[in-house]
Amino acid sequence: MSSLDGEVCVVTGACGFLGKTLIKMLLEQEKNIGEVRLLDINVKKEVLQSLQEIRGDIKLTVFEGDIRDADFVRKACRGATLVFHIASIIDVTEAVEPSEIYGVNVKGTENLLEACVQENVASFIYTSTVEVMGPNLKGDPVVNGHEDMAYRCALKSSYSRTKKEAEVRALEYHGEWLPDGGRLATCALRPMYIYGEDCRFLLGHMADGVRNGDVLYRMSQREAKVNPVYVGNVAVAHLQAARCLKDPERRADVGGKFYFVSDDTPHISYSDFNYAIMSPLGFGIQERMMVPLPLFYVFCFLWEMVCLMLRPFRRVVPPINRQLLTMLNTPFSFSYDKAKRELGYTPKYTWQQARSNTTQWLAQQLPIQRQEIWKK
């Protein structure tokens, strides 16, 4: 497998959950990489400082700006050879205006792809999501799904629709001619729900549990099993994809394709996963959902209707909607066999390591959470 020696990498969303994990892994594993460019709308000083401490002789360059700015994006890609496009607006409650999500997730991706063509960038890896697959509104289950399966899905949320549209754009650009006579190679990775250190969703669930007397809410039924993936293993998959796209013999086989990314985290419901991570910290979990699932859908529908009626006067976002409730209560798991076979991807971190790392991080955050909640 090719190394990334000499590559000039652009990482969008560089200070985000996955972005900084990937950059850290790049710096630790690819000692002869040419340059790593951190592209983010807000480059956090603490993230940059932590990376500076491990970079060795590798050049780190900061590009602070908005991927909706085509000129800025082209400047960031000038002289680059590889782009990891991770940045996006993640919104599962429809709290963000659809036009805002579209601008970042779709137009931002188009700007990056066009910049790659204009600036002779050889490889582009798009970070997609399992949500481009579903689940559909009927809650049709998938158990150990794969890339070639058929699944009826009409994506409803702005997030899933824009991520799907951006993924399609990224794969369509595979094979585009570059000014230097080469061709752009692209591929897309579809991780499951990503967890690990700095996961804001886990932090939110823990805060809710603290408010509820250290009892986690049950929002999903036990049988609605999914397979979350550890952030470190998602970073590993990105590096493997990059090495494949650089390798002339593998490039044609991998380019233009998407791959599901999971690991050996047990198949488990979202709520029971939260409990598995947080039970060592003394948290319990509700035995059953607060209301039967059919009634929960009725409540969500009523919330959505009230918010819709208020929309001309004030934007109110319900804490949960029917699409999110379906996602939380649909068995929806996917295999990483194709990524293993074609990318050479093998999870670096076991479930035990991933769980321990995540729980330790949450243990550090717990006193801060309690203090903030007590103040309120």
Burial class (CB in 10 A: 0-12, 13-18, 19+), 59: exposed
Phi–psi pair at 310, nearest 5 degrees: -80, -15
The verdict on whether 159 is a catalytic residue reads yes
Q: For residue 104, give the DSSP letter.
A: I
Angle at 345 between CA 340 and CA 347, to 5 degrees: 110
Phi–psi pair at 372, nearest 5 degrees: -65, -40
Structure tokens at 235: 């970073």
CA 307 and chain centroid, separation: 28
Q: Do 66 and 12 touch, CB atoms closer than 8 A?
A: no
Q: Which of 157, 94, 162 is nearest to 128 (CA)?
A: 162
Angle at 76 between CA 104 and CA 234, to 5 degrees: 60
What does the alpha-carbon distance between residue 8 and residue 140 come to, in Å, rounded to a whole number?
43
Cis before 294 (ω within 30): no
Catalytic one of 159, 195, 259, 336: 159
DSSP-assigned states of every residue in 30-64:
-TT--EEEEEESS--HHHHHHHHTT-TT-EEEEEE
Rg over alpha carbons for the chain, rounded to the nearest Å, is 21
Q: CA dihedral in degrees (169, 173, 179, 185; nearest 10)?
A: 130
What does the alpha-carbon distance between residue 199 and residue 208 come to, in Å, rounded to a whole number?
15
Phi–psi pair at 360, nearest 5 degrees: -60, -40
What does the alpha-carbon distance between residue 13 and residue 90 come to, in Å, rounded to a whole number?
12
What angle do helix axes 200-211 and 351-375 make, rounded to 10 degrees?
50
The catalytic residues are 159
